[in-house]
Structures are given as C-alpha cells and as structure tokens.
Amino acid sequence: MRLPSLKYLRTFQIAGRHLSFKIAADQLSITPSAVSHQVRNLESYLGFALFSRKTRALELTDAGRRYFEFLDAMFTRLESETEQLCNQYHRSVVRICVPPFFASEALLPRLASFGSASRETDIRVSTQPSATKAHPSEADVSVLLGTGNWPALRTYPLMARRVVVACAPALLAKEKLRSYDSLNGQTLIVHENRLNSWAQWATGVGIPQPEPSKLLHFDSMAAVVRAAERGLGVALVSWPLARAWFDSGALARVFEDEIETGECFYLAHRPEDADRPEVRRLIDWLIHEFHESV
C-alpha cells in the first residue's frame, strides 16, 4: 500500500494536537483553509473521517484519535532521533516554544547572551498562542502561561502576569482619562482569548465594569498593544512583559494599578530532556536571566 503524503500526515498531527485548524495553520505558515484542504485529502485517501466538525469545535473521531496517537509518537521519535544524530555528528540543537508576545518582548532581547555563552548550540524558536496550555511534543523547553498545574512536567516560575490599563499618550491627553469613570464611552480593546479581562480588572479595582462605546477584538497580545499604540482605544496590557513599550513612550499608563491575573509564565520541560547538557544549559540560563531581571 502506498503511504499518504508526509505533508498531509504532519498537518493532521498538528491539527489533531491542538484541535484547531487555525493554530495548525499558524505553526505551518499556511492558511486555515489549506489545513482543512490537506486534512480532507488525507481523509479521502484513507477512506474514513479523522475529525468530527462541529459548529464551534473540532473533535477527533475514534479512528482519528487512534491514528493521531500513532503519528504523534512517530513524529516525536523521528524528531528525537534526528536531533540525536545531529548531536553526535554535527551541532547540537535545542528547541524552545513560547507565546509570540513573550518571544518578542522577553526572549529575543536576551538570546544574544545565550548565543555568546553557548556557541556550539543552535536554538530553534517556535511559537504557540498563550491560550495553548500544553507543552509541545516537539519542544525540549517551552514557556507556558497558567497556574503551574502540569504534573507530568518540571516547571519553574519566570514572571507573574499582571495587567495595566494603557493607551497612546496622545489619546490619554485628548480624552483626559483621569478617573475610572472616564473609561465609560471609550473604545476598549479586547483580547479575543480573554473576553472577561475587563470585568476581572474592574473587580480588581473595585468598580463596575466599564461601559464602552465600542469594543475592538484582537486575537493576540501583540495586536492589542499595536492597536493601543496607534490610538485606536484603551487596552489591558500584560505587565511587566510590555515594559519596553512604556519605556519608549509608545504607550502610557492610564492608571497606576497593576492587577494580578493569577497566572504566571512558567518554564517547562519533560524531566528526561534535562539530561541533555545543551538543554540543561538553556534551562539554567533562562532561570538565571529571569531571576535577575524580575
């Protein structure tokens, strides 16, 4: 029997892991419709459905779950064996997966110092949305946002996530945003994965939830921050992750309150992965970097 396309198998594996064509598309740098098309081609080739497609959800069928478990283990083993061969015969590679905004604001500015200290190690950085709570099977190290409940992983807190109310300095001056009540009637910017964030912020400062004139929804913290910088509205911004935006003057605080979210960015890895010296060096470096800077 001729095997299915390896590309289609990889696409199905990633979509099956996240139960999302959109997240799979982001990781593969293709469109969600392309992911759907490749999965349908694979289903047509196999002769059975892999996913049960519902209005707002994607579920694996029994056959799909069985095939996913096999493929996920196969790709993980393939990646591991490839890495080991590279370690033995070429340069070592460490794979780290982080949320996109964490990558741009916290990881990338620090990576040069690790590269200087570990010239023989290559780093492969990938991203996954902060709403994704699982440590990717293909990563050696990841940064996860949550409350620390990953019993199968070793985790280390790097940075507590708080939020501050922010906007462009020009908007702050124009609208005279000096009191909590002044948020009523404003355009408020909302993170699509944190729809209750304004209600939680209001509870944190002890006021009723603001009544905006309009809501602008974005699906990433980077887009939220960029929209606030451009004067499109008032946003809840991750702190201290977005500190550089305030230091540069691109954003201004509306109020001084820093509201705890109960979440923290954690460094996570499988226990056995720390046995590799290059992975252990990256773990130790990250813990040191964030201990020194927070």
Cβ–Cβ contacts within 10 Å for residue 139, how many? 22
- In this predicted structure, which of 85-89, 232-236, 243-247, 287-291 has the lowest mean pLDDT? 85-89
Concatenating the DSSP letter of every residue in 29-57 gives TS-HHHHHHHHHHHHHHHTS-SEEE-SS-
The residue extents of the domains of the chain are: 6-81, 92-294
CA dist 17 → 21, 39, 70, 99, 126 (Å): 10, 13, 12, 17, 16
**pLDDT attached to residue 91:** 65
Q: What is the pLDDT of residues 188-207, one digit of tens each?
A: 999 988 889 999 999 999 99
250 compared with 128, residue with greater pLDDT: 250
What mean pLDDT, rounded, does the chain reach?
Answer: 90
CA nearest to 27, candidates 127, 101, 123? 127
Are 254 and 166 within 8 A, CB to CB? yes
Q: Phi, psi at residue 23, to the nearest 5°?
A: -65, -40
Q: What is the pLDDT of residue 294?
A: 47
Q: What is the pLDDT of residues 94-111, one digit of tens each?
A: 899 999 999 999 999 888
Distance between CA atoms of residues 45 and 230, nearest Å: 48
Distance CA 63, CA 4 (A): 16
pLDDT of residue 98: 94
Which tokens hold the place of 263?
């979440």
Burial of 248 (0-12, 13-18, 19+ CB in 10 A): exposed
**Fold matches, 6-81 and 92-294:** no
CB 238 within 8 A of CB 101: yes
Residue type, 158: L
Radius of gyration of the chain (CA): 22
Of 133, 161, 152, the C-alpha closest to 272 is 152
Give dist(CA 162, CA 180) in Å, integer.
Answer: 18
CATH (residue range 92-294): 3.40.190.290
What is the number of alpha carbons within 13 Å of residue 252 lying toward its C-beta? 14
Q: How far is CA 63 from CA 16, 46, 52, 58, in A?
A: 12, 11, 11, 14
Amino acid at 66: R
Over 90: is that where the pLDDT of 186 sits?
yes
Q: Is the pTM of this model over 0.85?
A: no
C-alpha to C-alpha distance for 208 and 54, rounded to whole angstroms: 36
For residue 225, which of 206, 207, 252, 198 has the smallest C-alpha distance? 252
The closest of 181, 168, 178 to 234, measured between CA atoms, is 168
What is the Cα–Cα distance from 255 to 179, expressed in whole angstroms?
8
Fold of 6-81: Arc Repressor Mutant, subunit A (1.10.10)
